[in-house]
Copies of this chain bind each other. A is one copy, B any other.
């Protein structure tokens, strides 16, 4: 952002945001008091909301395309965790005084890239000035067959715990970005940075987990912390086998350099993979789904058969408990 001349609110909306709502007639080109969405019979609406603050949730200097992508992605990840099909979103932008048209054009372009990738459309929102940091709030709406939402609270004793993709890349990418992790192979470094900057919410996976997963959550706070959320909601205990957690080649290199990076991978946030539990009998179906989606779905532990509801035990390859110093992102 710089201090260059900039448009007023109405021009801002018509120039940068109205083009993002064209796919939804009920957005009225962002010219009315609200948007109107119609519904298909038998479908419910899933509603999620996330707020990101510059300097807290992303570096102040992050390119606007990446900020926009992240903002949509974190909400789409919540829709994915519920098994919903993305439909529409509203966006509130609290803008510091130093934004300019180039910044806004790049931000809108990042929104457009994510909209196109995940088939979701802007339908409304608000733009205001703030003396504080850039603050972005997004409400995402999705469609789901009535009664088919994936919940966190239905994990059953004996379920196998799965994760999608690879774990810890985003937290390691942030460490690279901060200059705290160097000496990696340059392709690995680029891979980790991309995993931090451009999370890929597992929307297609979420849509296929109905009838398979007993419980699901997305990994935003960190694998250990989000598994604890699922365990608490389901009133079950879990065992996480650290040596089974799927790691990228880049993460393996970082861990080979410093074994503390394994702890970071298990507890760091921002992966936006899905974590779910399913009955052991569905192992073959999950393997087939993994192949069909070309997305690793890896068993990493079990829902235990005991009474320590909400407890997560992380074990190493020798069955010894690993105590994680950081147990995920703390919001305060």
Contacts and interface: CB of A to CB of B under 8 A. Distances in A.
Given A48-B124, A51-B137, A33 B130 contact: no
Interface stretch (A78-86, A106-114, A284-292, A294-302): A78-86
Interface in A111-142: 123-133, 135, 137, 139, 141-142
A177 interface: no
Interface stretch (A37-45, A162-170, A183-191, A257-265): A37-45
Nearest to A96: B132
B128 A131 contact: no
Interface stretch (A146-154, A192-200, A237-245): A146-154
Interface string A46-77: 11111111011100000000000000000000
Contacts of A38: 44-45, 146
Contacts of A137: 49, 51, 92, 94, 126, 137
Interface of A: 6, 8-9, 12, 26, 28, 31-39, 41, 43-53, 55-57, 78-79, 81-82, 84, 88, 90-95, 123-133, 135, 137, 139, 141-142, 144, 146, 149, 151-153, 217-218, 233, 330-332
Contacts of A332: 6, 8-9, 12, 95, 129
Given A55-B131, A128-B56, A9 B331 contact: yes
Contacts of A331: 8-9, 127-129
Nearest to A32: B152
A33 to B, nearest CB: 4
B8 A330 contact: yes
Q: Which has the most chain B C-beta neighbours within 10 Å: A28, A49, A135?
A: A49
A189 to B, nearest CB: 29
Q: Which of A84, A94, A146 has the most CB of B within 10 A?
A: A94
A137 B50 CA distance: 10
Contacts of A81: 33-34
A9 B221 CA distance: 12
Given A36-B144, A84-B34, A137-B92, A131 B132 contact: yes
A8 B331 CA distance: 8
